[in-house]
Amino acid sequence: MDPLVEILGDWAAKINAASVFLRVGLAFAFAAAIGCERANKRHSAGLRTFILVSLTSVVAMLIDVYAAAALRATVPLVSAATVVGIAIISSNSILYSSKNQIKGLTTAVALWASSLMSLAVGCGFYSASLICFTALIVCLSVLSSFEKFLKDRSNHFEIHLELKSKNNLQDFIMTIRNLGLKIDDIESNPAYINSGLSVYSISITITGKELKKYKTHHEIIEALGTLEYVGFIEEIL
């Protein structure tokens, strides 16, 4: 038996009005907290999306639990269909920008994880859903800052570069090498072929010892942005 059911009582493990209110309420509250965090960072899926996904999932599991008890159904068809449907919706929230950046991947996974968390709530596995909710909040709120810290001090990073002329590319490459940086890969961005701009995606490795010790990606990119032939430059995250 679930540890929280032992605390709440047997009613929480059965399908009745009180347990249905409890399960739907928990799914709503968990999803609202996660959705607020995503909306606060202006991601594609926000408060309402997370709540709707979680409510759909918890109701789907309640239907399957009821069908198993009342109709002796053996396959949770509604829950299975919901998981597949949410996975498709989540994948559609991933966007690819013209700067070769992937946007919304974390939100897409969080959306699917919220669905699974709500399925756990729906079947009365309260402790698992509570642990999952706590882990999701820590991952999205706390670990994001730590991940940014690690990325900014990594020896490898990728930039989106716009040069005023394609003739300046060789000058930029020479400047990169003189600074103690190595170009691992360079690609012309096809999205800008007919725009008249010289746009590239460049993978860079920091090789200079001084740069490794004292300079972050932001500081390096800021310095490169002062070159007169650089129109625009930013890190691809």
- Give 38-75 pLDDT, tens digit per residue: 877 776 667 898 999 999 999 999 999 999 888 887 88
Q: What is the mean pLDDT of residues 210-224?
A: 81
Residues 108 and 198 in one domain: no
Rounded to 5 degrees, φ, ψ at 103 are -115, 140
One domain, residues 136 and 37:
yes
Sheet holding 230-235, edge to edge: 181-188, 198-206, 156-163, 230-235
pLDDT at 23: 95
Same domain, 183 and 98: no
On the CB side of 96, how many CA atoms lie within 13 Å of its CA? 4
Among 146, 180, 203, give the residue marking a domain's end.
Answer: 146
Number of domains within the chain: 2
Which candidate, 4, 3, 36, places its Cα nearest to that of 22?
4
Q: 48 with 18, same domain?
A: yes
Domain boundary among 102, 126, 146: 146
Are 95 and 210 within one domain? Answer: no
- In the predicted structure, residue 210 carries a pLDDT above the cut 80: no
Secondary structure of residue 179 in the 3-state scheme: coil
Q: What is the DSSP letter of 151?
A: H
* 9 and 120 fall within a common domain: yes
Q: Which of 91, 124, 146 is the last residue in one of the domains?
A: 146
Do 106 and 141 lie in one domain? The reply is: yes
pLDDT band at 198 (very low <50, low <70, confident <90, very high): confident
Residues 95 and 31 both lie in one domain? yes
- Is residue 11 one of the residues assigned to a domain? yes
- Of 5-19, 66-80, 178-192, least confident by mean pLDDT is 178-192
d(CA 150, CA 143): 10
Q: Do residues 70 and 129 share a domain? A: yes
Assigned domain for 27 exists: yes
Instruction: Write the CB contacts of 79 (distance below 8 Å, at least 6 apart in sequence).
Output: 57, 60, 61, 64, 119, 122
Same domain, 13 and 48: yes
Does residue 151 sit within a domain? no
CATH of the domain at 199: 3.30.70.260
